[in-house]
Amino acid sequence: MFLQSIASALPPLSLTQREAWEVLRGAGVPDRLRPRSASLLETILLGDSGIERRHFALEDPRAIFSLDAEGLNRMFEREAPRLAGEALRRACSAAGLEPRTVDALFICTCTGYLCPGLSSHVSEQLGLLPSAFLQDLLGLGCGAALPMIETARGYLSANPDALVATVAVEICSSAFFVDDDPGVLISLCLFGDGAAAALWSAHDAGGQWGMNGFRSLHRPEHREKIRFVNSGGRLRNQLHRSVPGLAAAAVGQLFEQRTADPDRLVAHTGGRDVIDALEATLPGGPIAETRSVLRDCGNLSSPSVLFALERTLAGGHPELRRLWLTSFGAGFSAHACELHR
């Protein structure tokens, strides 16, 4: 299948890491922690994390830390459709198409739950036809965007004249949690909110990027090292210090299965240590666009790899012919695919 357009959306509120630290102080978060934990939080936010700023869906992010489980999910219910809809609207505009021409809509998320899912809300918001096929993918974590796109490819195989939209959206701030676990605190310092959308067709209109070579790798024996757990009805991110090495090893194994050598690597952001581990494992030098997304947005979870792809394609590199994309996260799972033109 062939990429028609790609676009992203971020909430208007953007905070530097130092400003985020001040928000946490204003919300009394350090006072809830042991001194050593509060010091770790301050060190990460005021140190060199590879992140300069992040975006948040609430106008006053201090309110996040006073919301109960219901309030956090209501925040997700309000903000996720809005952000996903904006990303898809921009993707349609970039392709010169009206949203009502979309025949199928696939949306992935892991930071909240709706029934009917986000696809129903976004379809209504953008005026998709009542006959549009709607599909929500849940529980795939940070790696979800690529298996979602592979699912859309299956739909296009059965419906070759269709126009398919894929949207990855996360309101990570609706899953912020505070306790003394280092993994929880690191998550509090890494994640931001965002959405990315892409349009796909089974037909190449000339010079478009085609997708193939999808691969997955699942390591359920490492499931407890990176996942959401339910704590009092709230999502709590469980993150082990071994994740950077685990991610690099899995991604390296997928890279060995590539069909051709890529001109550029495009990866999920993870965090600074994750990107360092990937660059040490994969040939080809720095993963520049991935680092720039981490710098400007933090870890956006599932949309991250699409943000990096958008920047790669917007970078004005006509010499690029092959891209290799990878995403990874809860499961533990890792995924890869190839784009070519």
- Please tell me the predicted confidence (pLDDT) of residue 286: 79
Q: Cα–Cα distance between 11 and 320 in angstroms, integer?
A: 31
Please answer whether residues 144 and 167 qualify as being in contact, where contact means their C-beta atoms are separated by less than 8 angstroms. Answer: no
- Please tell me the predicted confidence (pLDDT) of residue 316: 82
- Please tell me the predicted confidence (pLDDT) of residue 245: 96
The confidence band for 336, taking pLDDT boundaries of 50, 70 and 90, is very high
Q: Is the pLDDT confidence value at 169 over 80?
A: yes
The confidence band for 202, taking pLDDT boundaries of 50, 70 and 90, is very high
Q: Cα–Cα distance between 147 and 149 in angstroms, integer?
A: 5
Give how far the C-alpha of residue 16 lies from the chain's centroid of Cα atoms, to the nearest Å: 20
Q: Cα–Cα distance between 178 and 89 in angstroms, integer?
A: 35
Q: What is the pLDDT of residues 208-247, one digit of tens each?
A: 999 999 999 999 999 999 999 999 999 999 999 999 999 9
Please answer whether residues 37 and 183 qualify as being in contact, where contact means their C-beta atoms are separated by less than 8 angstroms. Answer: no
- Please tell me the predicted confidence (pLDDT) of residue 284: 77
- Please tell me the predicted confidence (pLDDT) of residue 337: 98
Whether the bond between 220 and the residue before it is cis, its omega within 30 degrees of 0, is no
Phi-psi region of 284 (alpha: psi -120 to 50; beta: other; left: phi over 0): left
Mean pLDDT of the chain: 96
Helix (H, G, I), strand (E, B) or coil at 331: coil
Q: In the chain, what percentage of residues exceed pLDDT 70?
A: 100
Q: How far is CA 209 from CA 2, 206, 263, 283, in A?
A: 5, 9, 13, 22
The torsion angles phi and psi of 236, rounded to 5 degrees, stand at -130, 120
- Please tell me the predicted confidence (pLDDT) of residue 120: 98
Q: How far is CA 260 from CA 59, 255, 306, 337, in A?
A: 46, 10, 21, 11
Contacts by 96-100, CB closer than 8 A, 24 or more apart: 97/4, 97/163, 97/199, 99/126, 99/127, 99/128, 100/126, 100/127, 100/128, 100/129
- Please tell me the predicted confidence (pLDDT) of residue 250: 97
Strands 163-170 and 104-109: parallel
Q: What is the pLDDT of residues 245-275, one digit of tens each?
A: 999 999 999 999 999 999 999 999 999 999 9
- Residues forming beta bridges with residue 327, ordered by sequence position: 335
- Smallest CA-to-CA distance from 8 within 195, 168, 232 is with 195
Q: What is the pLDDT of residues 13-62, one digit of tens each?
A: 999 999 999 999 999 999 999 999 999 999 999 999 999 999 999 989 89
Taking residue 163's Cβ as centre, other Cβ atoms within 10 Å add up to 19
- Please tell me the predicted confidence (pLDDT) of residue 15: 97
Q: Is the pLDDT confidence value at 207 over 90?
A: no
Q: What is the pLDDT of residues 112-145, one digit of tens each?
A: 999 999 999 999 999 999 999 999 999 999 999 9
The confidence band for 148, taking pLDDT boundaries of 50, 70 and 90, is very high
108, amino acid identity: C
The torsion angles phi and psi of 145, rounded to 5 degrees, stand at -60, -45
